[in-house]
Amino acid sequence: MTASGNPELFAYETQRFRSRWMERLMRSLTGVFAYFSIIITVGITLIFVYECFAFFRALAAEGVSWTQIFTETEWTPLFAPPKFGVIVVVMGTLMTTIIAMIVALPVGLLSAIFLSEYAPPALRAVLKPTLEILAGVPTVVYGFFALLVITPILQQIVPGGDEVVAGLNALSAGFVMGIMIIPLVASLSEDAIYAVPNLLREGSYAVGATKFETTMSVVLPSALSGIVSAFILAVSRAVGETMIVSLAAGQSPILNFNPLDSVMTITAFIVQVSLGDTPTNSLAFYTIFFAGFLLFLMTLILNVLADWFVRRYRLIY
């Protein structure tokens, strides 16, 4: 008997045929959607490689030796003659990042310890979401805060006032960046601390340790891999942060080690060029892709390192 002979069976077969095709269609469609993210990564990489080649070709056309990138101590791609001392922007990025980490790492870790080990549940239920608000504030708002609130305060409290503290300086940008990163460090470290089994804490109390001693010699060492990974991700976040540094840290093209003075970060440079009328396919235009590639590589290495750390040193209970 064929399916067409029986109307009910025919309807069933049609339905089955349709759902099978739907199954295949949706499986392929969602698969294409998922693999689209690979295209993004490949796209970013190709664009950077292509534009960096263009950058080095343009350098040669201008008669600038590529070794200048490592030997020069000024970064003025927009001036004539252009100078490409990449050390200037790398140092600027490093300085704001270090200042941010001095704020974010201890404060974030202490917050994580307080929230997971000491805070009563009711207090924790209030503090944790409030702390998350800090992470939801747009970075441009933090830039405003650094430039127009923190810098004037610094100029009042640092002896010497605005003669010592420049209107645009690395300290206020780095400090505010640190505040922005606190929730990231706190929530990732708290996850790591929370994963330490209670048995370890109770064992420590049983041999007579106080809560502080337990935290320091049992909980933190057990959560170390997660905490280090949180710290590395925090560094990566600070390196890529753009709006705070472009508003508050300035665009100084000279190598500078004074945190109270203006510095230029990689990201601030890209913003500076993007805001101006830089013609496409000019040397300055290629430079932002060169700077972007540098930034991409730095954050990629940090992210991979954080991931490796958490896998390599994870203690399994």
Partner 1 sequence: MTTAISPSEVNFRSNYDRRKVATNIFMVVAFLATIFGLFFLGLLLYDLLKQGLPYVSWRFVTTFPSRNPADAGVLSALVGSIWLMCLIPIFAFPLGIGAAIFMEEYADRDLWYNRILEINISNLAGVPSIIYGLLGLELYVRVLEPITKGRTLLAGALTLSTLVLPVVIISSREAIRAVPREIREAAYAVGCTKWQSIWYHVLPMAFAGILTGTILALSRAIGETAPLITLGALTFIAFLPPWPVTTSVNEEGLVIIEKVSAGVASFVEALQTPFTALPIQVFNWASRPQAEFHAVSAAGIIVLLLLLVAMNSAAVLLRARFQVRK
Residues in 67-96 at the binding interface with partner 1, rule: CB under 8 A? none
Note whether 292 and 270 are within 8 A (CB): yes
* Comparison of 70 and 118: residue with beta carbon closer to partner 1: 118
Binding string, residues 153-192; x marks residues near partner 1 by CB under 8 A: -----------------------x--x--xx--x------
> Which residues, numbered 247-276, are part of the site for partner 1 (CB under 8 A)?
247, 267, 270-271, 274-275
- Asked whether the CA dihedral 304, 45, 246, 142 is positive or negative, the reply is negative
**Structural element, H or E, at residue 115:** none
Note whether 183 and 132 are within 8 A (CB): yes
| Residue 218 interacts with partner 1 (CB under 8 A): yes or no | no
Task: Using DSSP bridges, classify how beta strands 75-76 and 83-84 pair: parallel, antiparallel or unpaired.
Answer: antiparallel
Tokens at 16, concatenated: 């089955």
Alpha carbon distance, N-terminus to C-terminus of the chain:
62
Give the nearest distance from C-beta 79 to partner 1 in angstroms.
21
- Conformational region of residue 252, where left means phi above 0, alpha means psi within -120 to 50, and beta covers everything else: beta
Choose which of 10, 43, 53, 70 interacts with partner 1 (CB under 8 A).
43
| Residue 215 interacts with partner 1 (CB under 8 A): yes or no | yes
* Comparison of 106 and 203: residue with beta carbon closer to partner 1: 106
> Which residues, numbered 12-41, are part of the site for partner 1 (CB under 8 A)?
19-20, 22-23, 26-27, 29-31, 33-38, 40-41
Choose which of 64, 99, 220, 288 interacts with partner 1 (CB under 8 A).
288
* Comparison of 8 and 80: residue with beta carbon closer to partner 1: 8
Give the nearest distance from C-beta 63 to partner 1 in angstroms.
27
- Stretch binding partner 1 (CB under 8 A), from 64-72, 75-83, 142-150, 252-260: 142-150
* Comparison of 136 and 160: residue with beta carbon closer to partner 1: 136
**Using CB atoms within 10 A of its CB, is residue 28 exposed (0-12), middle (13-18) or buried (19+)?**
exposed
Q: In Å, what is the CA distance from 17 to each residue of 9, 26, 31, 234?
A: 12, 14, 21, 52
| Residue whose pair of structure tokens reads 């343009």 in the numeric block | 58
Choose which of 130, 217, 258, 282 interacts with partner 1 (CB under 8 A).
130
> Which residues, numbered 104-123, are part of the site for partner 1 (CB under 8 A)?
106-107, 110-111, 113-115, 118-119
CA-CA distance, 220 to 209, in Å (whole number)? Answer: 14
